[in-house]
């Protein structure tokens, strides 16, 4: 075993290497540095791209069963270290340990699901005049840029389809949650051929270099809409393929026929899971005026009862906000919302170390308040009253975002009628965050474009090529 100066490394060209410098990683439950990892220089990013480019022809030339075997080995090796992954995820990200374990399982499942899918040449037309074939070829080097809310799930949902289709990759986590990605690199180092997967860790300074790099064919990005716009601009020069999974401001629409206690509980979870740090979280709740008070009271009680603590401790339901910058941003939303609405529950930080915020419910707040219009990405939810279905649909659609949304009703037909009129990439009726691997998800409007998961998400890692043959004519 070679000796490394830092416990968490970059993976470049099949070797685990120290960074040109280092990066301190903070546990959001304490606010203290708990680990140090390698931080790449621009030169190291360049080495990673060169290695991925060099590895591409041989990896692309493998058969589907050969690449499948590699991916299944990777899944098995991650599974063998499942609890280490989950604990590390909680320590760097903050989420409760059972949720971290669920995230790791989801990521392993993604590897196994996509490993099984081949995209062979398809015949689109076969007539007396000729044949039209569709081939799906890999793109080359793919850059994957991931955020800090689901560092493991969102990484593997990119790596699995990216590699199985024959691309090689350079992946870069968010600087505040780099360790699980580094651990994946350590595992992949022993399994994948050199250069097929490279891990680069930065301090928010190399993302732009990836998106502008002439030898990177595609970038798959998950992050905020603001950063997504930079990605799009910097990818223009090289006409890079892009998948952009950006922000959301998803509405939860409660109809007047629901069991209030039951639905309040489900909507609360939809808003507060992962401390509200989910692109697809319920970020504004609309309730009929007739049951508005009751819904607000129920949500307020749930907020007061929720156990907010270090994710490593048994019984924790809501962990800290992931990083200081986001913590301050969410407290800023709360401060403004206090002046513009009524606090039903929460409304402040917890008086302890770490980035803990009490789950907060705000009512009687106007549609144009920042907490309603913008993406708060934290444990604070506005609840708004509506009078008619037309009124609520119009207010929900009046947004620059269009990622997801939920509708809650005893009458599925009513739910479906409304779902058909919501402008977003996904609408759930009576459920939330159900994203099976065979079902794509992606954004409408400024929530991004392209999609992940499903056969559609897989195809985004390929070039569509048509071969059109005249069968009767000879050249």
| Least separation in angstroms between CB 133 and ligand ADP | 36
- Residue number with CB closer to ligand ADP (204 or 304): 204
- Give SS3 for 230: helix
| Least separation in angstroms between CB 160 and ligand ADP | 19
- CB-based burial label for 237 (10 Å; 0-12, 13-18, 19+): exposed
Q: Does 324 bind ligand ADP (CB under 6 A)?
A: no
Determine the Cα angle at 268 with ends 266 and 271, to 5°: 110
The number of residues that bind ligand ADP (CB under 6 A) is 15
- Residue number with CB closer to ligand ADP (247 or 415): 247
- Residue number with CB closer to ligand ADP (215 or 364): 215
In Å, how far are 20, 97, 131, 180, 286 from 37, measured between CA atoms?
11, 22, 54, 11, 44
Contact indicator for 4, 18 with CB cutoff of 8 Å = yes
Q: Which residue is listed with tokens 């350079």?
A: 170
| Least separation in angstroms between CB 323 and ligand ADP | 7
Stretch touching ligand ADP by CB under 6 A, among 88-96, 145-153, 332-340, 405-413? 145-153
| Least separation in angstroms between CB 11 and ligand ADP | 16
Task: Among 21, 32, 123, 204, indicate the residue that binds ligand ADP (CB under 6 A).
Answer: 204
Residue 436 tokens read as 């099976």
DSSP 175-214: TTS-HHHHHHHHHHHTTSPTTSEEE---SSSSHHHHHH-T
Task: Among 89, 108, 142, 145, indicate the residue that binds ligand ADP (CB under 6 A).
Answer: 145
Q: Does 131 bind ligand ADP (CB under 6 A)?
A: no
Site string for ligand ADP, 214-233 (x = CB under 6 A): ---------xx--x--xx--
Q: Name the DSSP class of 447.
A: T
Considering only residues 162-201, where is the footprint of ligand ADP by CB under 6 A?
A: 172, 174-175
**Strand runs (DSSP E) across 262-324, as ranges?**
282-288
- Residue number with CB closer to ligand ADP (229 or 465): 229
- Tell me the C-alpha distance between 41 and 34, whole Å: 22
Q: Does 243 bind ligand ADP (CB under 6 A)?
A: no
Handedness of CA 70, 244, 429, 370 (dihedral sign): positive
Q: Does 207 bind ligand ADP (CB under 6 A)?
A: yes
Determine the Cα angle at 57 with ends 53 and 62, to 5°: 135
| Least separation in angstroms between CB 227 and ligand ADP | 3
- Residue number with CB closer to ligand ADP (217 or 361): 217
Contact indicator for 405, 424 with CB cutoff of 8 Å = yes
Q: Does 409 bind ligand ADP (CB under 6 A)?
A: no
Contact indicator for 297, 344 with CB cutoff of 8 Å = yes
Q: Does 211 bind ligand ADP (CB under 6 A)?
A: yes
- Residue number with CB closer to ligand ADP (131 or 230): 230
Residue 109 tokens read as 């499942």
Residue 451 tokens read as 């999609």
Task: Among 31, 98, 208, 370, indicate the residue that binds ligand ADP (CB under 6 A).
Answer: 208
Does 245 qualify as catalytic in the annotation? yes
Catalytic residue (one of 35, 245, 298, 460): 245
- CB-based burial label for 62 (10 Å; 0-12, 13-18, 19+): middle
Q: Does 147 bind ligand ADP (CB under 6 A)?
A: yes
Contacts with ligand ADP by CB under 6 A lie at 145-147, 172, 174-175, 204, 207-208, 211, 223-224, 227, 230-231
The catalytic residues are: 245
């Amino acid at each position: 075993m070679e000796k490394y100066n830092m416990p968490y490394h970059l993976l470049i060209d099949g070797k685990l290497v120290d960074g040109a410098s280092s990066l301190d990683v903070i546990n959001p439950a304490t606010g203290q540095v708990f680990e140090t990892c390698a931080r790449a220089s621009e030169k190291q990013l360049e080495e990673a791209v060169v290695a991925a480019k060099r590895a591409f022809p041989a990896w692309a030339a493998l058969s589907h069963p050969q690449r499948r075997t590699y991916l299944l080995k990777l899944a098995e090796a991650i599974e063998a270290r499942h609890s280490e992954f989950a604990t590390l995820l909680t320590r760097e990200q903050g989420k409760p340990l059972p949720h971290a374990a669920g995230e790791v399982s989801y990521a392993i499942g993604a590897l196994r699901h996509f490993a099984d899918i081949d995209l062979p040449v398809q015949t689109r037309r076969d007539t007396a005049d000729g044949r039209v074939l569709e081939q799906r070829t890999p793109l080359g080097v793919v850059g994957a840029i991931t955020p800090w809310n689901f560092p493991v799930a969102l990484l593997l949902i990119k790596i699995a389809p990216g590699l199985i289709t024959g691309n090689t990759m350079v992946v870069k986590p968010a600087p505040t949650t780099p360790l699980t990605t580094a651990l994946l690199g350590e595992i992949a180092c022993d399994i994948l051929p050199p250069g097929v997967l490279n891990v680069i860790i930065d301090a928010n300074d190399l993302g732009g270099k990836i998106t502008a790099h002439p030898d990177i064919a595609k970038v798959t990005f998950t992050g905020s809409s603001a950063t997504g716009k930079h990605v799009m601009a910097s990818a223009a020069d090289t006409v890079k393929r892009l998948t952009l999974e950006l922000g959301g401001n998803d509405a939860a629409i409660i109809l007047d026929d629901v069991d209030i206690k039951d639905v309040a509980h489900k909507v609360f979870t939809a808003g507060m899971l992962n401390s509200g740090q989910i692109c697809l979280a319920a970020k504004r709740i609309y309730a009929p005026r007739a049951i508005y008070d009751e819904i607000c009271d129920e949500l307020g009680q749930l907020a007061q009862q929720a156990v907010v603590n270090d994710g490593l401790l048994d019984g924790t339901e809501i962990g800290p906000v992931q990083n200081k910058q986001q913590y301050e941003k969410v407290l800023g939303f709360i401060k403004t919302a206090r002046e513009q609405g009524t606090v039903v529950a929460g409304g402040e930080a917890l008086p302890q170390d770490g980035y803990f915020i009490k789950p907060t419910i705000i009512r009687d707040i106007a549609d144009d308040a920042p907490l309603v219009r913008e993406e708060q990405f934290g444990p604070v939810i506005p609840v708004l009253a509506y009078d008619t279905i037309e009124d609520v649909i119009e207010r929900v659609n009046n947004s620059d975002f269009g990622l997801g949304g939920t509708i809650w009703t005893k009458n599925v037909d009513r739910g479906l009628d409304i779902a058909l009129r919501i402008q977003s990439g996904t609408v759930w009726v009576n459920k939330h965050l159900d994203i099976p691997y065979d079902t794509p998800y992606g954004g409408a409007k400024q929530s991004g474009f392209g999609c992940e998961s499903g056969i559609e998400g897989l195809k985004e890692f390929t070039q569509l090529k048509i071969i059109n043959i005249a069968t009767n004519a000879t050249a």
